[in-house]
Amino acid sequence: MSDAYTATARIINQLYGDGTPDKGALAELRRTTAITDKGAEKIWPLIFSAVPKLSTNGKPTKLETAVYTALHCYAAFQQGNDSFVFGQIPRSKDKEESGENGVSLSNGVSLFTALRKMKINDSNEKKALDRRVTALLATTNISSATNSINHLVSILKGKKMGEKIDFAQLAEDLYNFQWSTKNARFVALKWGKDYYWNVYKLASDND
């Protein structure tokens, strides 16, 4: 797993604890969207202890940006939910992973897979959601991408579908997104496959 994935998963497990979440830290993460925002300094100790390579010039690194964005999304999604909303995408059929709190983690889906399921379950949202996702998939600008993702997470949370999201995978994707226009297009293709792939089969399964 990448540094972005490992650091994000570690911090999320620390934030959730043993089922008694760090409400103060989660509130600051919801209120701030970037690592340089006022209030984000309360989260820095968690990030700096988990991220192996830190900025030395005062400008956030790609890794710091990706991890903080994913943590903000996790905190927003966790709000008002007693159960753990983070789950890792299964990587092996024979091995189930557990977090530091003992909760099984190998039961998550990607953000865009969850959005795909949402639009299938709610046809009224399909047109508007398709439009938002298409706009996101067209951008190669990280600020635009993170703003769109934050909004999509808010929409998904409002549907209360009970999905566990792999926010660590989101961090890894956002990290890769920032390296070049070509990399951003590769990540967009990955997200597009999660959002559109097998839509018709899923729809028929629900008939």
Encoded tokens for 126? 């399909």
Asked if the structure places residue 16 within a domain, the reply is yes
Distance CA 82, CA 98 (A): 18
Q: Which residues, including other chains, have CB under 8 Å from residue 195's CB and lie 6 or more apart?
A: 112, 113, 115, 116, 133, 137
Asked if the structure places residue 94 within a domain, the reply is no
Asked if the structure places residue 131 within a domain, the reply is yes
Encoded tokens for 101? 């709190």
Res 185 pLDDT > 70:
yes
Asked if the structure places residue 154 within a domain, the reply is yes
Q: What is the mean pLDDT of residues 66-92?
A: 93
Domain that holds residue 58: 3-89+101-205
Domain count, the chain: 1
Higher pLDDT, 184 or 120: 184
Nearest to 71 by CA among 136, 26, 105, 18: 26
Asked if the structure places residue 95 within a domain, the reply is no
Q: What is the mean pLDDT of residues 45-73?
A: 94
Asked if the structure places residue 96 within a domain, the reply is no
Q: Which residues, including other chains, have CB under 8 Å from residue 197's CB and lie 6 or more apart?
A: 116
Asked if the structure places residue 45 within a domain, the reply is yes
pTM: 0.89
Note the pLDDT tens digit of each residue in 80-111: 998 999 999 987 654 455 555 444 456 899 99
Encoded tokens for 132? 């938002």
CATH of the domain at 65: 1.10.520.40
